Structure formats: C-alpha cells, structure tokens
Amino acid sequence: MMLKDKVAIITGAGRGIGRSTALLMAEHGAKVVVCDYGVSLDGSAPSSEPANAVVREIRERGGTAVAAVDDVGSFEAGQRIVQLALDSFGRLDCLIHVAGILRERMIFNMAEAEWDDVIRVHLKGGFNLLRFATPVMRQQRSGSIVLFTSRSGLRGAPGVPNYAAAKMGLVGLARSTAQAMAKYNVTVNCIVPVAFSRMTQRMAGPMIQAGLGAGEELGLPEDVAPLVVFLCSEAARHVTGQVYTSQGNKLALWSQPREIRTVYAEGRWTPQGIADIFESQLGQDELVRFK
C-alpha cells in the first residue's frame, strides 16, 4: 500500500474523479477526509449525501474515512476542513483539490456573479485549503498537494472564460506554492484530467472536441486516480511544480512556460521598429485551438 497511514483531504470527493481518488487512496492505506458540499454543477442544492455515501463505501471496504460537508469557497471552511483532518487523524499528509462548478457563458454575456462564483470555488477554494494546510505540512516538514487544472485553462476555452481563468490560476498557485514549500519537503503538482464526468458531460460537444487531438477520447474518472496516488506517495518525493495530463491509458508532461524567441533593439524599441522585425524575427506561438 503506497499511502499506508497517510491522511488525505480530497475536495469534490462525493462524485466523479474525486470519488474515484478517495476510494483508491483509501485502498492504498490512506485515512480520507471526504470533502463535498454536494451541490449541482451550478453550485445549488447542497446535500450531505454524496460525501456520506463515499465514506460508507470506504468503510465497507475496510478503510477509514470521515465526511466534511462544507463549501470550499469559504475561507473559514478551509480552516474547518483542515482542522477536521487534524482532530480525526492527528496529522495531514495529502491535499487534493478537485471541487468545482460551472457557469457557461461567453465573455461578452457573462454576469459578475457567474465570474465570481466559479473563481470562488476553483481558485479561492484552492487558496483557502492551502492557506491552512501548508502551515501543518511546514511544521511536519512533509506533505503532498495536488491541484486539478484543465486544458481549458492551459489552452483557453471561449465558452467558459471564468473556468479557464480559475484553472490557469491554479497552475500559478501550484508553482508558487511548490517554490515556497520545497525546503519543507512539501510537493505541489497539477493534474489535467481528460475524463468523462458530470463536468465534461455538461461541457459536451464542440467545447470538448476542441480540446481533444485526432483519435483521442475521454478517459474515465478511475483512470485519473492512480496518478494522484503516485504523486502523494514516497515514490514522488522529488516531483514538484509539474503539470501532468491523465487521459485513459495516456500520461503526459506539460512544459514549463519559457521564452521561445528573443530579439533586441539598438536602443529603445519604437512601434515601427517592432513592425519591421515582427514577422521575420518574433512572430507568434499559435494557440492550439486556432490550428
């Protein structure tokens, strides 16, 4: 068992990828805080049943779990969830942030609340949990954090700019936290899941197809969980600040952002000077979805 006696918080663990991750982590010996507010994809109608059902399933299989039915978008909830792990199991080794909601709208039609709600759950939710988990891991001088990003964030997605912005924000949060926590033996990584779930079903059609290459298909939630277990295990203590795709039987590593072409002026640039050299020396790195 790769996670024997480790304590893990998993948000969005009542369904889909979060549920599959919770079950596999428990199978590998982790004690799991199953965190799920139980809402619909638009963030409405909270229910304790999704989290409680996964806790029952883990216990029936001989594992250990408790439910946290709380809204990760609340700063105070971040503290409560981390404290629940400490009160229940005495430590915190792994934090996996999967929870999210959708508010689909083109940027020119989006209401302020539709922007704020998505940013609050995905990005602020990640901050809320990291804010209270990192001091614990810093004191322990060990820990593993996995945040879930998306191709929509890394490549853009015209119909969900709020979701894309939040998901790209999580990459920046992960890389920054990885740098801050490295000397405390705490790793922070991101996963791009390409798997069938409530969210991808809601985003079905052209939006999904635009993110898939020729011959590619959506995987299943169960396909993503093994990568989470690995990244939280001792076998991945040297892995941090990275972004990986998990898609069916495919794993992939994303590149770190870097400058790919550089030109210098003699003195300061002028607008015309930029125009004169732009196409031949600088140009563009074409967006994948424009190809």
Residue of 267, 269, 287 lying closest to 278 (CA atoms): 269
Integer CA distances (angstroms), 149 to 96, 105, 156, 193, 220, in order? 12, 19, 12, 8, 16
Query: Which residues have a Cβ under 8 Å from the Cβ of 108 and sit 6 or more positions away?
Result: none
Integer CA distances (angstroms), 206 to 108, 201, 214, in order? 19, 12, 14
- Decide the pairing of beta strands 64-68 and 143-148: unpaired
Structure token pair of residue 140: 């322990």
Angle between helices 125-140 and 161-181 (to 10 degrees): 10
Structure token pair of residue 61: 């299989």
37, 163, 184, 264: the active-site residue? 163
Known catalytic residue at 163: yes
- Rounded to whole angstroms, the Cα distance separating 253 from 243 reads 6
Integer CA distances (angstroms), 78 to 119, 139, 148, 277, in order? 15, 18, 17, 50
- Rounded to whole angstroms, the Cα distance separating 125 from 99 reads 8
Number of H helices, E strands in the chain: 11, 8
- Residues marked active site are found at 163
